[in-house]
Amino acid sequence: MLEAWKEIIAARRQYDCWDLSQPLDKSVVEEIIEEMNTQCAKKQNKPHIALKILDWSDPKLRGAIYDYTRNAESDDRTRENFIAINPQMLAHYLIVFVNVKEHTRLGFLGNISTGLHANYITHSAAARGLQTGFCQCSDRDLCTDEQYEYMLDRLGIENFDQVYLMMGLGHGLKENSMINPATGETVECWSRIGKGEQEDNPLPAVSDYVEFL
């Protein structure tokens, strides 16, 4: 059993690009979600979050979300200086974790639940030969007002601050670029597949943040 677990954790990695030519049946995603619902720990058996799962049936929505999660290359925050680095958003499916409570002590539970459920999904996906890609970067300046309003409307939220986390799920592509189906443009990502984090963000030592008292 331990060997099986080790295989799963070795298979689970952050993926940014996707092989969209390989189909991913919705039933597989439904199975992962059903499993998450019954097996992932929940305080008092309540989810404390809402999940919105998007396929590619609305390219306008997916394209807007991708634009919203681009990033600035420099402190000069003009549109020209923004680069695209989050094609995780272009995966076969995009899972959006939404806060359903105020930011009170209970709202806090939404954050915790998001972490637990997202982590559950990554491993459940890895066990099925699928990959995931997290994204919490976003910049309101990068999408247009029309795109922003469209996202709120489709996701049924009032403000994008209600979104705790987004996660791509699909057949990962071991390359650093892919075509954005929303625009037909080639988009790039960081080259880190299978390597863990970038050199500028090395993994901490256990002793940096763990103490046995």
**What residue ranges bind ligand FMN (CB under 6 A)?**
13-14, 85-86, 134-137, 165, 196-197
Structure tokens at 112: 């915790």
Please say whether the dihedral angle defined by the alpha carbons of residues 189, 161, 142 and 63, taken in this order, is positive or negative. Answer: positive
Min separation Cβ 10 and ligand FMN, Å: 11
Q: CA Rg, the chain, in Å?
A: 18
Burial class for 117, CB neighbours closer than 10 Å (0-12, 13-18, 19+): buried
Min separation Cβ 107 and ligand FMN, Å: 17
In terms of CB distance, is 186 or 198 closer to ligand FMN? 198
In terms of CB distance, is 16 or 26 closer to ligand FMN? 16
Min separation Cβ 206 and ligand FMN, Å: 15
| Residue closest to 97 by CA, chosen among 29, 163, 168 | 163
In terms of CB distance, is 70 or 92 closer to ligand FMN? 70
**């306008």: which residue's tokens?**
60
Alpha helices in the chain (DSSP H): 2-11, 26-39, 59-68, 105-127, 145-155, 206-209
Min separation Cβ 169 and ligand FMN, Å: 14
Q: How many residues does the chain have?
A: 213
In terms of CB distance, is 137 or 152 closer to ligand FMN? 137
Min separation Cβ 101 and ligand FMN, Å: 19
For residue 132, give the H/E element and its range.
Answer: strand 131-135
In terms of CB distance, is 8 or 137 closer to ligand FMN? 137
